[in-house]
Structure 1
């Protein structure tokens, strides 16, 4: 069933689940990064401090073997373009001056006095370790690492962890989306099965893919369809019997009223005429109901001669013109029931001439009924058209009689619909349904 226009599209279960998985992946990645930042920050600090200490020991051993490196300026005569993760200085303790340093080490001493433990410099920008030369007690070695370098190492660890966590999360979301699609396919198939389910035809009952969650739904739909079918069968039988039982008494009432009109005084004849008209209309309703329930709303298609069909029906003194430009393939009983009520509506609204036209428009057969009666206001016609589109036949809708409802039901039984076209005068209605050749080809 198509959604009614103007209503917002309901949220999708699959879309909501995928959106939730995506947000969970993002939050998981962020939380993982925060945890990594706090958990391994301490371990990373210890590892870098250990690296600092071991580098200092290496530098100290080399400079102890080659004292010239510590006393004759920089250790290299040429500056190479490379990233120096550690810097070193040889500081003269009494004067606090730098005796020798690496290329990227600052010119001022990072530490003016040796310390036993690794510590931050006074400006907080360097993590330094000092080692005193045993041969030269007045000098000591400083090996340091900048805060920028340490922060960059922390950031790389967190960044790579975040990227890995988000990548795994997004990959998991894609895999879960694929699995969700697969698991929701049986639900979509069940929905399509319900859409084509006819309770009066048990062979059309929806069959769901075996899933524990869908079995109760399938059983509930089957039980509901069975109860609905029983109710429809009972109502059809009752209405058919009631219409058949009322047909003979109504015909007798019409005969008696005809005789009474001839014998009655002139003063009461208008009332008797109105009573006979009402009885005649009741008879035509009974006839239409008999036709509908004889066919059971299941169209038994055959080529219909509109003139022969109309002549077989009993109407008022309206002039009925028929223009059949194309073969009409339809159920004659259903079509007769619809036309009977539409023509009765035209008579009730003071029509004297009705034109019935059958033509072909594209793949559709169009049966148009146009009268010259009172018609209706544009806003009323718009409400009627909306009720027909939405199949709103009950209380609160614009529908007030059986004619339009029955015509729409007959058109839909043939796989079509009804349209209320604009007309300069009177009232018009079109019954449209796919032609027989189109249906068989499909």
Structure 2
């Protein structure tokens, strides 16, 4: 799962947390192991130093009695020497004998059976005296460099091992999290394909116990939506029947009036009958759309032919609409009527209507020179329309914007409210096909 619409991903957050935990665990273990190994390795190396010194003391003491320690010091071969020794006279500071890689100066001048560091910090020394020769001391030492290397290697290997184990556990946990999130993704797909009016499309039994409350809530929501849709369909059917009869009666009365009216009144009566006929078609289109949720009846339309100019004679409507657009004419006529009515109620004198096409998208822009809208109010309208919050808090009071938004959404498009210097502007955009 990846981030969508700027929202954080559960998987990414869990993965980052596991990775940070693995790194902190590795550092913590490395710190603990370093403290432990620093003490234990030093203790082991001190013990090895003492044991090695005792062995060397036994050998060198015998050779020292026989006067052969000088010869022993000169016989050597090239090898990595971790222990060195010296025989010194502590009273005079004279270096009597030494191993080939031992320092040329006495490492210390006092007898100390317990290991201790030399003043320069380069050696760890243990010393022994000779039973039959108290004037000489045997010093056996180990370089501090070798001891640091041993401690560093122990800490490094521990750190690397712990870090690798932490990364391996992070990978395994990540794979496990991915697997456990799959039921949630499948539930999301099932909800997306769900139709509240078709019971067989409701999500099936959940795959995890944690999803049971969510699935129950989704089913209850679907039932409420289905009940509401059925209620609205019943109301729409009743409204259609209640409105159809009066409109049909008005059309019939106008038809009779046309025959009996004098010639001077017939143009007005004709326009009135045409308006009533269009109102009937608009009402039927709206009720059909809201009742069935079906697609609009698209056809190529010249927007200029849909303008109810006679109904808004006080408005100067400047039109730029040379190309026909694919749209439901009755629905678009209802939108134009309500948007022009809004403009007139907000004291507009002039309205500019521009229709254009680009990249398969139809755009209809209607801008008036009325009172306009404050920036705060405009932003509130945008937010309400984006949420499709049609008036629960009064933010989209009035039918014009609501109807325009519903109709353009039914055409697969969207409505925007651009900021303009004066007046108010509405822009509708929807696909050509």
| Fold match by TM threshold 0.5 | yes
Deviation at 1:44, TM superposition (A): 2.2
Aligned mates of 2:77, 2:37 — CA distance in 1: 35
Structure 1, unmatched stretches of 5+, are 257-280, 437-442
- Bigger Cα displacement from structure 2, 294-303 vs 390-399: 390-399
Aligned mates of 2:23, 2:418 — CA distance in 1: 56
Cα pair 1:129 1:142 within 8 Å, conserved: yes
Matched, 1:292 2:289: no
Aligned mates of 1:320, 1:94 — CA distance in 2: 119
User: Could you tell me which residue of structure 1 aligns to residue 174 of structure 2?
Assistant: 177
Alignment of 1:121-270 (within 5 A): 123=119, 125=121, 126-133=123-130, 136=133, 138-147=135-144, 149-188=146-185, 190-191=187-188, 194=191, 199-200=196-197, 210-242=207-239, 244-245=241-242
Alignment of 1:87-106 (within 5 A): 87-92=84-89, 97-102=94-99, 103-105=101-103
Cα pair 1:91 1:109 within 8 Å, conserved: no
Deviation at 1:84, TM superposition (A): 4.3
- Bigger Cα displacement from structure 2, 283-292 vs 354-363: 283-292
Alignment of 1:216-365 (within 5 A): 216-242=213-239, 244-245=241-242, 290-295=284-289, 296-306=292-302, 310=306, 316=311, 318=313, 325-349=322-346, 358-365=355-362
- Bigger Cα displacement from structure 2, 90-99 vs 215-224: 90-99
Closer/same/farther in 2, CA of residues 68 and 200 from structure 1, 3 Å limit: farther
Structure 2, unmatched stretches of 5+, are 254-274
Deviation at 1:129, TM superposition (A): 3.2
Deviation at 1:403, TM superposition (A): 1.1
SS at structure 1 position matched to 2:311: coil
Cα pair 1:417 1:431 within 8 Å, conserved: yes
Closer/same/farther in 2, CA of residues 202 and 368 from structure 1, 3 Å limit: farther
Aligned mates of 1:94, 1:320 — CA distance in 2: 119
User: Could you tell me which residue of structure 2 aligns to residue 376 of structure 1?
Assistant: 372
- Bigger Cα displacement from structure 2, 411-420 vs 359-368: 359-368
TM-score (norm 1): 0.70
User: Could you tell me which residue of structure 2 aligns to residue 119 of structure 1?
Assistant: 115
Cα pair 2:352 2:366 within 8 Å, conserved: yes
Aligned mates of 1:198, 1:398 — CA distance in 2: 30
Aligned mates of 1:181, 1:233 — CA distance in 2: 40
Closer/same/farther in 2, CA of residues 286 and 153 from structure 1, 3 Å limit: farther
Closer/same/farther in 2, CA of residues 361 and 122 from structure 1, 3 Å limit: closer
Cα pair 2:363 2:430 within 8 Å, conserved: yes
Deviation at 1:98, TM superposition (A): 2.9
SS at structure 2 position matched to 1:213: helix
Cα pair 2:296 2:410 within 8 Å, conserved: no
Aligned mates of 2:107, 2:364 — CA distance in 1: 103
User: Could you tell me which residue of structure 2 aligns to residue 110 of structure 1?
Assistant: 108
Cα pair 1:297 1:334 within 8 Å, conserved: no
Closer/same/farther in 2, CA of residues 302 and 142 from structure 1, 3 Å limit: same
Cα pair 1:70 1:100 within 8 Å, conserved: yes
Deviation at 1:363, TM superposition (A): 1.7
Closer/same/farther in 2, CA of residues 195 and 340 from structure 1, 3 Å limit: farther
Cα pair 1:302 1:331 within 8 Å, conserved: yes
The alignment yields a C-alpha RMSD, in angstroms, of 4.7
Deviation at 1:221, TM superposition (A): 1.6
Give 1:418's match in structure 2, choosing from 388, 391, 415: 415
Closer/same/farther in 2, CA of residues 177 and 124 from structure 1, 3 Å limit: same
Aligned mates of 1:98, 1:61 — CA distance in 2: 19
Closer/same/farther in 2, CA of residues 10 and 356 from structure 1, 3 Å limit: closer
Deviation at 1:122, TM superposition (A): 7.5
For residues 226-248 of structure 1, the C-alpha deviation after alignment (integer angstroms, 9 at most, x for no partner) is 21122132134225424643665
* Aligned residue pairs, count: 401
Deviation at 1:196, TM superposition (A): 6.6
Aligned mates of 1:323, 1:129 — CA distance in 2: 104
SS at structure 1 position matched to 2:426: strand
Cα pair 1:297 1:410 within 8 Å, conserved: no
Deviation at 1:151, TM superposition (A): 4.0
Closer/same/farther in 2, CA of residues 189 and 412 from structure 1, 3 Å limit: farther
Cα pair 2:418 2:427 within 8 Å, conserved: yes
For residues 148-180 of structure 1, the C-alpha deviation after alignment (integer angstroms, 9 at most, x for no partner) is 543442233123212221232234324433443
Cα pair 1:187 1:208 within 8 Å, conserved: no
Cα pair 2:63 2:69 within 8 Å, conserved: no
Closer/same/farther in 2, CA of residues 326 and 420 from structure 1, 3 Å limit: same
Deviation at 1:107, TM superposition (A): 1.5
User: Could you tell me which residue of structure 1 aligns to residue 73 of structure 2?
Assistant: 75
